[in-house]
Structures are given as structure tokens and as C-alpha cells.
Amino acid sequence: MSEEKLKRDKRKATHSIQSLWERNNQREISTSRLLRECAHVYGPAASGGQC
């Protein structure tokens, strides 16, 4: 994997987390939802069809 691809992936993850955090601060999503979504961003790919 190229260094540029790694940088893009990191920027995308950072943007996603910041967006989720802002939605949580605005009370659009619960803390539980925030944590679940963060796990999707940083966690391993789901297998077995469970998300």
C-alpha cells in the first residue's frame, strides 16, 4: 500500500470521527451510537454479515 493511500485513509478516518463527535455534541446521536460508529471506522472489517 502506498504512503499516499495510507495518508488518504487516515484523513478519511479522522474526518469521519470528527463528524461523529460533532453530531454527538449536537445531540443528534447518542454516545452509544458514537462509540459503535467509531468502532466501525477503526475496527477490523466485519465478517458474518453483522454490522
pLDDT block averages, 10 residues each, the chain of length 51 = 92 96 98 96 68 50
Q: Is 27 helix (H, G, I), strand (E, B) or coil?
A: coil
Give dist(CA 11, CA 27) in Å, integer.
24
Cell 493511500 belongs to 5
Q: Is 8 helix (H, G, I), strand (E, B) or coil?
A: helix
Q: What pLDDT score does 49 carry?
A: 54
Q: pTM value? A: 0.73
Q: What pLDDT score does 50 carry?
A: 54
Q: What pLDDT score does 43 carry?
A: 83
Q: What pLDDT score does 42 carry?
A: 86
Q: What pLDDT score does 40 carry?
A: 93
Q: Are 14 and 5 in contact (CB under 8 A)?
A: no
Q: Are 27 and 6 in contact (CB under 8 A)?
A: no
